[in-house]
Structure 1
Amino acid sequence: MVGGDGAPHPGREFDAEPAPCYLDEDGPPPDTWPDQPPPLAPPRNLPGPAVPGGWWARADRAVDDAGQVLLALERALGHARRLVATAERADTADETTWATGPAGRVSAAPDALTALAAATDQARADLADLLGRTAGGGLADRPRLALTDTLTGALLALTDLPALHRAADAGTGLAPPGASPGYRPTAGLDRYVRARDRRCRFPGCRHPVPRRGELDHHTPWPAGPTAVGNLAGYCAGHHRGRHQAPGWPHTVAPDGTLTVTTPSGLTATTTPPPY
């Protein structure tokens, strides 16, 4: 975020556009990985990312790829479990024939399946650790339920199943999160504004709102609250232009509608994209 004086807020990091991530096709096949991973090369020996912050974008992409591989492995394990269950039923039906015939060669399959499942559990734990370290990949957050207006598609609330149950038990409705007491938005408020805007709100810009930054206070804090009606998401360039380019006033309505006036007096309006 940027404070009212136009300078970046202390301690805030800004992510940039994701850099491409490439898989190493020359590495060893999955069944020949060494017992220990090779040591990481010093940063100076690594090709630099195309833009600042690109390493985290590439790390997020790699973790997402690992999640897809793990999902495929889970499906393969499910198929193997079904085949083993079929073999065990056949074995029970005809113990002697199954054990002495050609099919007896698969008698070690249950033990092998158990060992493979244990290895998958460890892989799942390792992936969870990576997700916790990247802190921002799509899989690092619980699935959310978006409540929208049927006619306009506007986002009304962002919740999850436990919160939905709590609201039902308490007899309360769902609404956008309340204001944050400080400069930084709460996790729920940050999540809601990013889900509402999704991309830079400057007219014509299609860049995504980076993680951990670029939510702008229309009325600078503390004069303006850290609240839904006073926050809008921008890409890094337009966020700085919002504060540093003279003659470009921005106006944000309580529903998130943004109006930008050019130095020549022309106006352009954007609204949060409908769901």
Structure 2
Amino acid sequence: MTAGGRADRAVDAAGAALLTAQHAIGRAHRLVATAERAAATDEATWQAGPGGRAGTAGDTLTALAAATDQHRQALAALLARTAGGGLTDRPRLALTGALLALTDLPALRRAADHGTGLHPPAATAGYTPGAALDRHVRARDRRCLPGCRRPVPRGGHLDHHTPWPAGPTAAGNPVGYFTTDHRGKHQASGWRHHLAPDGTLTLTTLTGLTTATTPPPY
């Protein structure tokens, strides 16, 4: 075979190989496009379903409301098997570490079903905090003012930061004190106490020394 013949055969073989490669590439493109359409369909279906709505929920209660009955029942069964452990031992939901609310499983279900959310207890009309508000403040503070840090006892005092009735008996006003330090607050003239919305208590002495105590994070 002449050199020209061999060259022609090489060109033909190269053309056939190129055509085969082009067919393979085209088939690969079609397979990828089919897979992408299937993935997009699966993603759209998931996003429109309970899983997607729960996954994109802005808070826990919205996620619970978006979940299916089967998912909620599974969660309730899990909590029941642990005697409600996560809600019995740590009954709170937190934002930025500050106590938002005390709750239990029935209350959490009601809040999810009615979309009411979780909030601190309602204010008490009189001077003495109601039982729910009393529990909330003691759970929030847990310890006394700076320099003491003893646990606020069950019978310890809840003092109105802004004296009642000018200050309400509401979650943002009472402060938990050990009994002797409650008396000291009123008898140490000139000492200043400042209560922040998250329960942080700042104490300033007559000499200008300032110290603060923040409720332990949740």
Match of 2:200 in 1: 257
2:178 maps to 1:235: yes
Structure with the larger helix share? 2
Compute the RMSD of aligned alpha carbons: 1.6
Report the AA paired with residue 97 of structure 2. G
Match of 1:54 in 2: none
Match of 1:176 in 2: 120
2:162 maps to 1:219: yes
How far did residue 233 of structure 1 move? 0.6
Match of 2:143 in 1: 199
Report the AA paired with residue 186 of structure 2. H
Equivalent-residue separation in structure 1 for 2:200 and 2:89 (angstroms): 27
Unpaired runs of at least 5, structure 1:
1-141
Match of 2:28 in 1: none
User: Aligned pairs, how many?
Assistant: 131
Equivalent-residue separation in structure 1 for 2:164 and 2:138 (angstroms): 19
2:92 maps to 1:146: yes
Kindly report structure 1 stretches of 4+ aligned residues shifted beyond 2 Å: none
Partner of residue 133 from structure 2, selected from 176, 189, 205: 189
Match of 1:208 in 2: 151
SS in 2 for 1:229: coil
| Contact kept in structure 1, 2:146 and 2:213, CA below 8 Å | yes
Report the AA paired with residue 187 of structure 1. A
Q: Cα deviation per residue 1:68-97 (whole Å; 9 max; x = unaligned)?
A: xxxxxxxxxxxxxxxxxxxxxxxxxxxxxx
Task: Using structure 1 for the length normalisation, give the TM-score.
Answer: 0.45
Sort the Cα spacing of 1:186 and 1:224 in 2 relative to 1 into closer, same or farther, 3 A: same
Equivalent-residue separation in structure 2 for 1:204 and 1:263 (angstroms): 15
Bigger radius of gyration: 2
SS in 2 for 1:162: helix
Report the AA paired with residue 183 of structure 1. Y
Q: Cα deviation per residue 1:138-197 (whole Å; 9 max; x = unaligned)?
A: xxxx76621123xx4221111111111111121110011121111111111111111111
SS in 1 for 2:102: strand
Report the AA paired with residue 145 of structure 1. P
Match of 2:57 in 1: none
Task: Using structure 2 for the length normalisation, give the TM-score.
Answer: 0.57
Structure with bigger RCO (C-alpha 8 Å, 6+ apart): 1
Equivalent-residue separation in structure 2 for 1:239 and 1:168 (angstroms): 39
How far did residue 212 of structure 1 move? 3.3
Q: Cα deviation per residue 1:254-273 (whole Å; 9 max; x = unaligned)?
A: 22121111010111111111
Equivalent-residue separation in structure 2 for 1:159 and 1:143 (angstroms): 11
| Contact kept in structure 2, 1:197 and 1:272, CA below 8 Å | yes
SS in 2 for 1:228: coil
Report the AA paired with residue 162 of structure 1. P
Report the AA paired with residue 236 of structure 1. T
SS in 1 for 2:93: strand
Equivalent-residue separation in structure 2 for 1:195 and 1:243 (angstroms): 23
How far did residue 204 of structure 1 move? 2.7
Report the AA paired with residue 229 of structure 1. G
Match of 1:159 in 2: 103
| Contact kept in structure 2, 1:143 and 1:160, CA below 8 Å | no
Match of 1:32 in 2: none
Q: Cα deviation per residue 1:32-73 (whole Å; 9 max; x = unaligned)?
A: xxxxxxxxxxxxxxxxxxxxxxxxxxxxxxxxxxxxxxxxxx
